[in-house]
Structure 1
Amino acid sequence: MSEQDPTPPNPQQQAREPIFLLPGDVTAIIGVLVAIHLASTLVLNQDGQMQLVFWFAFQPLRIIAGLDDLSLAVPLIWTPFSHALLHAGWEHVLVNCAWFAIFATPVSRRYGAGPMMAIFFISAAAGAALFAATTLYSGSYLIGASGGVAGLTGAAVRFIFQPVMVAQHPETGERMVLGRRLASFADLWRDSRARFFVLIWVLLNAAVPLLPLVTGTQMSVAWQSHLGGFFAGLLVVGLFERKS
């Protein structure tokens, strides 16, 4: 009597490894950012691109113009948020997407898609506010997701450096991983890794205005948006923490 090989399992019934390790919501938002920039470069002509910036970029000068003509300030209702969906070039959008993937992922996995997006857009608006405070009369405009991503960075800093908490089930005695707790601001300062990350991140962005003195070239980096977004995310993430 000969032995026969067991029937191989149906490939469709086997568990499949995901192609992308990113959460679905993170992947979707990256897709939106890329799609918007792709459409703006392939579909719109130069006049259309100027209109896109005019209506959806954040322009602080509208605050002043609105004092004389209120209609000129109407786009300020949405542009503190919509500017985060526009980018100046492919390098700009790809760097922001990579940064977004790194820091939106832990925030999304901890809080879910809705809170992650809320932190992103709240931080984008906070970054726009600080940008306006420092460029009110300059005529500059703000585009790019970096303020929102900086907020996700600040939110993630509150827990990614904390130790994993493990507890014992009261009935079975099984060890359970509870995750990482949200650090207080005092905890952030006491933790050497978190303190180093925050200080280096803030100092690097705060130093951007001084770079032209060293390099002799003007830097088109919205450091104000980075700082405003970072501290907004650092502050508001606690609102989404689940109460035990």
Structure 2
Amino acid sequence: MNNPENQQNPQETGKNAPIVNLPPIVTALIVLMVLIHFCAQVILTDESLYRFFLTFGFAPIRLQYAPEMPGGIGALFWTPFTHGFLHADWMHLTFNMLWLAVFGTPIARRYGPYGFGVVFGLGLIGGVIGYLIVHFNSVAILIGASGAVSALMGGALRFMYQPLLKAVDEETGEVRILGRRLATPAELLKDQRAVGFTVVWMGVNLLFGLFPQLMGMDGASVAWEAHIAGFITGFFAVAWLERRLF
């Protein structure tokens, strides 16, 4: 029989529980991006905001005219990363931050802040490469954390549908939760949920790119190439992290 003295009062437990139970690295990143966007919207004029985006966003045309553009040649090295901290409007920011919280949390809890940073950073680079392949001579500016968020999504897909692994202590009989195993690509192909999630997500992004009018949006406003490239990057990046950290 359970001892009442050892039981916690549900009201007390709820009182002490955090309102937002996100890993610190995820919370810090969301706060940082909100602050950057808020300051940019409040402080900068329309003209200076465009120059700000041109300096820290990724513009493929910079590969040809880097010396003449804001930031010069140096921007070739920082814009593949800094573009992910800029957003066009509050809706763009809100959408990305919600997905960052959803898929960044399992990655941060599994691999820690270092592993989270690796997947996020590689996702930014992967997104830039995907965008560059399709828009090599484009003057459009790529901004937003979508590529990195897609990488977190692709990485989380490798384990989020896997069953929990458990171990039983031989002496006490206590059951310990070990976590979820990282699935191989071949194993994921046998999982209908993983396949369905991937097909729907990829399909929606391809529709944005191939038939933007049918989706009711301007194709240039949705960096579907960065989404897909980031997803693929994160999908394979976690396997490297798994070997390095476990």
Smaller-chain TM-score bracket: 0.7 to 0.9
1:141 shift after superposition: 1.1
SS in 2 for 1:241: helix
- Stretches of 4+ aligned residues off by more than 3 angstroms: 66-69, 170-173, 212-217
Alignment correspondent of 2:228 = 227
Q: Which of 1 and 2 has greater Rg?
A: 1
Which digits, 9 at most, give the CA deviation of each residue in 1:119-171, with x for residues without a partner? 11210111011101111112111000111000000010000000001122244
> What is the TM-score normalised by the length of structure 1?
0.88
> Which has the larger displacement, 56-65 or 212-221?
212-221
Alpha-carbon distance between aligned partners in 1 of 2:108 and 2:137, rounded to the nearest angstrom: 37
Comparing 48-57 with 229-238, greater Cα deviation is found at 48-57
1:200 equivalenced with 2:216 (yes/no): no
Cα gap change, 1:239 to 1:204, in 2 (>3 Å): same
Partner of 2:242: 241
CA contact (8 A) 2:66 2:76 kept: no
**Aligned-residue offset at 1:233:** 0.3
Instruction: Give the match for residue 64 of structure 1.
Output: 64
Q: Distance in 1 between matches of 2:167 and 2:123?
A: 34
Q: 3-state DSSP class of the match of 1:22? A: coil
Identify if the C-alpha distance between structure 1 residues 43 and 236 changes in structure 2 by more than 3 Å, giving closer, same or farther: same
Answer whether contact 2:96 2:149 (CA < 8 A) is retained. yes
Using a 3 Å threshold, how does the CA distance of structure 1 residues 216 and 229 change in structure 2: closer, same or farther? closer
Which segment is superposed worse, 42-51 or 156-165?
Answer: 42-51
The 3 A distance-change label for structure 1 pair 21 and 50 is: same
1:97 equivalenced with 2:91 (yes/no):
no
- Report the alpha carbon displacement of residue 87 of structure 1 after superposing the two structures with TM: 0.3
Conserved? CA contact 2:208–2:215, under 8 Å? no
Aligned to 2:132: 132
Q: Which amino acid aligns with 2:200?
A: I
Percent identity over paired residues? 38
**TM-score normalised by length of structure 2:** 0.87
Q: 1:189 to 1:38 in 2, by over 3 A?
A: same
Secondary structure of the structure 2 residue equivalent to 1:177? strand
Query: What number of residue pairs does the alignment pair up?
Result: 234
Where structure 2 has 5 or more consecutive residues not aligned to the other structure, the ranges are: 1-11
> CA RMSD of the aligned region, Å?
2.6
Paired position in structure 2 for 1:180: 180
* One-letter identity of the residue aligned with 1:98: L
Please state whether the residue corresponding to 2:212 is helix, strand or coil: helix
Q: Shift of residue 217 of structure 1?
A: 5.6
Note the 1:1-244 alignment, pairs <5 A. 16-66=16-66, 72-212=72-212, 214=214, 218-219=218-219, 220-241=221-242
Aligned partners of 1:50, 1:212: CA distance in 2, in Å? 24
Quote how far apart the aligned CAs of 1:49 are. Answer: 1.0
